[in-house]
């Protein structure tokens, strides 16, 4: 399977962000995008205040039930169906009454939803420069480890700050994951030092492919202050080798996910069978 990460520079307006995503996806599909596309975290509305986030979020339809689809949901489903590919939709704001979740959606080549995952770990930190982030003030936390099957593979779902919690990745490995997604809006400060090393470490310890689409550029937070995300979308193999990487700016990058290599690595070093704790 060939995978493509889509790197975007989103702001707070969903319609504008969808149009930008469509341009990058169309360009990728004109090339050799393969059969699996992945978008970044919160690409539909990054930044802004709670009222804007609620307005730009979507109430997700109940799987299998007839319900009105939001514009981002319909866009992701439509791309999957029209291109005949698996679409990992990064994450969008899921509205649940007056509450929000940071939620991943995955769609199969027929446009049907395969899985949804609510981000478990909330980014409540102060970075070295003193900038504070408190994701839990706006979003609720998920409580389920989620995998799904697509293209004959088992996909594991995480979002951004989840990357720092190896227990989640090991739980995905035990659930059969072969490819783990890490859609992100990593800060520049933490990204410079931790982004690549953590992604490669998670790949090595789980013996999975890691596909990490990221946001880049500057957006405005709830107080109008500029915040910058790191970009550097990346795909790496189960040995921790980088297969594809972007730098700054919107764009896309693709790589082949060689499942024969995954099987060879796991057979030669059967770490799952050797685990004694957890």
**CATH code for the domain of 76:** 3.60.110.10
Over residues 40-53, mean pLDDT: 95
Do the strands 99-107 and 113-118 form a parallel or antiparallel pair, or are they unpaired?
antiparallel
DSSP code of residue 197:
H
Residue 65 has pLDDT above 80, yes or no: no
The span from the CA of 137 to the CA of 66, in Å, is 32
The span from the CA of 150 to the CA of 109, in Å, is 9
Tens-place pLDDT, residues 205-215: 999 999 999 99
Residue with tokens 């030669």: 268
Tens-place pLDDT, residues 240-252: 999 999 988 999 9
Portion of the chain with pLDDT greater than 70, in percent = 98
Nearest-CA neighbor of 89 among 67, 112, 116, 61? 116
CB 118 within 8 A of CB 94: yes
The span from the CA of 201 to the CA of 163, in Å, is 10
**pTM for the full model?**
0.96
Do the strands 216-220 and 209-212 form a parallel or antiparallel pair, or are they unpaired?
unpaired
**Which residue numbers are catalytic?**
41, 119, 160
Residue 128 has a pLDDT of 85
DSSP code of residue 141:
P
DSSP code of residue 68:
P
27-33 long-range Cβ contacts below 8 angstroms, 24+ apart: 27/252, 28/4, 28/252, 28/254, 29/83, 29/85, 31/254, 32/2, 32/254, 33/2, 33/4, 33/85, 33/252, 33/254
Residue 67 has pLDDT above 70, yes or no: no
Number of structural domains found in the chain: 1
Residue 64 has pLDDT above 80, yes or no: no
Confidence of residue 62 (pLDDT cuts 50, 70, 90): confident
CB 244 within 8 A of CB 253: yes
Residue 268 has pLDDT above 70, yes or no: yes
Over residues 30-51, mean pLDDT: 95
The span from the CA of 76 to the CA of 79, in Å, is 5
Over residues 20-32, mean pLDDT: 96
Confidence of residue 130 (pLDDT cuts 50, 70, 90): confident
The domain of 18 spans 2-274
């Amino acid at each position: 399977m060939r995978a493509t990460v889509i790197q975007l520079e989103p702001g707070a307006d969903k319609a504008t962000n969808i149009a930008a995503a469509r341009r990058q996806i169309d360009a990728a599909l004109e090339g050799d995008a393969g059969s699996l596309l992945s978008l970044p975290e919160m690409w539909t509305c990054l930044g802004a205040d709670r009222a804007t986030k609620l307005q730009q979020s979507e109430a997700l339809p109940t799987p299998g039930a007839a319900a009105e689809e939001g514009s981002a949901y319909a866009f992701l489903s439509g791309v999957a169906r029209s291109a005949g590919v698996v679409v990992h939709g990064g994450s969008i704001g899921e509205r649940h009454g007056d509450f929000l979740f940071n939620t991943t959606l995955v769609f199969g080549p027929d446009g049907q939803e395969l899985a949804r995952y609510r981000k478990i770990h909330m980014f409540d930190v102060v970075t070295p420069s003193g900038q504070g982030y408190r994701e839990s003030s706006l979003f609720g936390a998920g409580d389920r480890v989620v995998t799904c099957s697509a293209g004959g593979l088992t996909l594991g779902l995480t979002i951004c700050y989840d990357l720092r919690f190896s227990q989640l990745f090991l739980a995905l490995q035990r659930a059969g994951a072969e490819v783990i997604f890490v859609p992100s809006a990593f800060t520049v400060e933490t990204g410079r030092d931790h982004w690549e090393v953590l992604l490669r470490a998670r790949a090595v310890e789980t013996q999975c492919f890691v596909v990490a689409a990221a946001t880049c550029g500057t957006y405005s937070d709830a107080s109008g202050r500029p915040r910058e995300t790191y970009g550097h979308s990346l795909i790496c193999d189960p040995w921790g080798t980088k297969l594809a990487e972007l730098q700054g700016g919107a764009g896309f990058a693709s790589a082949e996910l060689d499942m024969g290599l995954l099987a060879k690595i796991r057979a030669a070093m059967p770490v799952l069978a050797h685990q004694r704790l957890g």
